[in-house]
Amino acid sequence: MDRCGIIRGISGPVIKAESKVPTRLYEVVRVGKEGLLGEVIRIRGSFVDVQVYEDTTGLRVGEPVVFSGELLSVELGPGVLGTVLDGIGRPLSRIGAEDGIFLKRGFAAPTVPRDLKWKFVPLMQEGQEFFPGDVYGVMVDVGGFQHKLMIPPMAKPGKVAWIAAEGEYKAEDLLFESTQGLSLCCVQKWNVRVSRPFKERLPFNEPLITGQRILDTLFPVALGGASVVPGGFGTGKTVTQQSLAKWCNADIIIYIGCGERGNEMTEVLEEFPHLKDPRTGKALMDRMILIANTSNMPVAAREASIYLGMTLAEYFRDMGNNVAIMADSTSRWAEALREISGRLEEMPGEEGYPAYLSSRLSQYYERAGRVKVLCSDEREGSITVINAVSPPGGDFSEPVTQASLRLSGAFWALDKSLAQKRHFPSINWHLSYTLYEHSLSDYFNRKLGAQWSELVLWLRELLEDEKKLEELVQIVGRDALEELDRWKLHLAWLVKSFYLQQNAFDDKDAFCPLEKQKLLLEFFKEMDCKVVDKVKEGVLFSQIQRIPIQMWLEEMRKLQVEEMQTKKHEYITALDRELDSLEVIRS
């Protein structure tokens, strides 16, 4: 008990302690008789303020605090994928059963399980040279995932003295020794507030394919980029993030339920373990980590949860994976920051948030990116951030939305009026934007051909024209529109209903591959050209309306890509037939 102190004051999750020894910022502390986990967040002479990650009810002044000398770290290693962690890395999925519904205070459990064994395959030989980040072996993790075991980033280069033979090993079994005395087991520790080093940042060159038509077509986010999903109450933030978690093409998904309602997290916890990964057919959870920190869980742990998620993301990135990290929601995280700041009696900034809100957020966003990872070969990996923001009253000018907007490259604005019309995803195509379009154009041209950019431009113009026409309709009324403009409005309605809308709960519609997006857009554009020609010849819009286009689109929306090719051809032929049969009425 030589590194200890005494509690002098308690204010919710923040305690003031007097320390007999010098302490350092962000040092981990065990607080009170129950040993609640906390972290030093301010030092004033011999007094320190500690934010406590567990419920402080019943804590008394005079109880001891013990300074660990370590910084808040998370264990990295096999057995973490597929689990549910709390905001400070305790594996909820493994400890729930014996300990009742709620965690006991002061409960400590290692993130990497100690009772499991994993198959280890060495990839280095004795005498071989190594550098930080090099892979010395793999362990077969949940679902057959090849978990690369890497030399820790801060280790010095050296030579292998001994490496364990192929076989099954537990978390703390020795696997590797170097001639300079470096000994490794499969567990590494990393300070959650410090980003893991990498060799160099790479430019964006590939999109995160989400399978959501409006996002992939109009507002793509790059692998390694960052996007925000702001939206008022009930506009679909959670469903959008969950759809991305289910369908996007990242190798690893880290989903942080940050201050959301418990029953929303329950839905995730109940639904995700039963979902199949559309790419591998295995359980989706095998490539996911869920971090659960619901609104009734300690507020300080919510503050830590996003750093924990990011550290896990960096670890899997360093193995050479594309990782997507989703936090729902940044606003609840910022509220935690505000609460702690209030307890510390700091000077409040805009809307009561601390002045350092932006810099803290940027510390998180800056850890995203596409990088060459630290190692002697050419491994690359990426972290893509997709953060929900819940601005009070749906007001995007509030500080959290504005700070997130400055730090991200894609902005997917959810619109209450679309949500009220049950148009989902309720992403407003006039307010949303992406800054990645230019960096991704080569990828789309290669993958979908040069026509893709023409199709996207055509769609954007149509949506812009529709906006202008709707303004005109407000003034002159729909009946005063020309036949061609009436068709254009109808076409925009078809595009909105059958392309931009996508039902996350319909198995056949929830995911739309890029090739299918292209086929659908081609159909819309071809149809437009044909109808416009016919209307110019003198056919009336009311005659066009009788063609069963809606029925065709409804059917096509649910087809697989392969069937779509033939069906598109069939429907274009049917359209030609229908248009030919129309009598020219106007001269």
Residue list, annotated binding site for ATP: 231-238
What is the three-class DSSP state of 388? strand
What is the three-class DSSP state of 331? helix
Q: How far is the CB of 295 from ligand ATP (least distance, A)?
A: 10
Say if strands 14-19 and 36-44 run parallel, antiparallel, or are unpaired. unpaired
Q: How far is the CB of 236 from ligand ATP (least distance, A)?
A: 3
Residues near 331 by beta carbon (within 8 Å), at least 6 away in sequence: 259, 389, 390, 391, 392, 400
Residue with tokens 């362990």: 139
Q: How far is the CB of 425 from ligand ATP (least distance, A)?
A: 5
Say if strands 252-258 and 322-328 run parallel, antiparallel, or are unpaired. parallel
Nearer to ligand ATP, 136 or 412 (CB): 412
Q: How far is the CB of 422 from ligand ATP (least distance, A)?
A: 7
Q: How far is CA 181 from the centre of its chain?
A: 39
Nearer to ligand ATP, 358 or 390 (CB): 390
Binding region: 231-238
Binding site for ligand ATP (CB under 6 A): 231, 233-239, 390, 424-425, 502-505
Q: How far is the CB of 414 from ligand ATP (least distance, A)?
A: 7
Q: How far is the CB of 268 from ligand ATP (least distance, A)?
A: 11
Helix (H) or strand (E) holding 119: strand 117-122
CA angle 197, 203, 209 (to 5 degrees): 100
CA distance 304 to 45: 25
Nearer to ligand ATP, 382 or 390 (CB): 390
Q: What's the CA dihedral at 359, 364, 370, 376 to 10 degrees? A: 100
Nearer to ligand ATP, 51 or 331 (CB): 331
Nearer to ligand ATP, 309 or 425 (CB): 425
- The conformation of residue 376, written as its DSSP 8-state character, comes to S
Q: How far is the CB of 281 from ligand ATP (least distance, A)?
A: 24
Nearer to ligand ATP, 211 or 425 (CB): 425
Instruction: Give the dihedral sign, CA 150/151/157/163.
Output: negative
Q: How far is the CB of 510 from ligand ATP (least distance, A)?
A: 8
Token digits of residue 5: 């102190």
B/e letters for 118-130, b = 16+ CB within 10 Å, e = fewer, are: bebebebeeeeeb
**Maximal C-alpha separation, the chain:** 98
Nearer to ligand ATP, 234 or 278 (CB): 234
Assign residue 428 a region: left if phi > 0, alpha if psi is -120 to 50, beta otherwise?
beta
Nearer to ligand ATP, 71 or 229 (CB): 229
CB 387 within 8 A of CB 227: yes
Helix boundaries (H) for 193-261: 213-218, 237-247
Nearer to ligand ATP, 31 or 553 (CB): 553
CB 380 within 8 A of CB 320: yes
Q: How far is the CB of 214 from ligand ATP (least distance, A)?
A: 10
As beta bridge partners, residue 198 has: 373
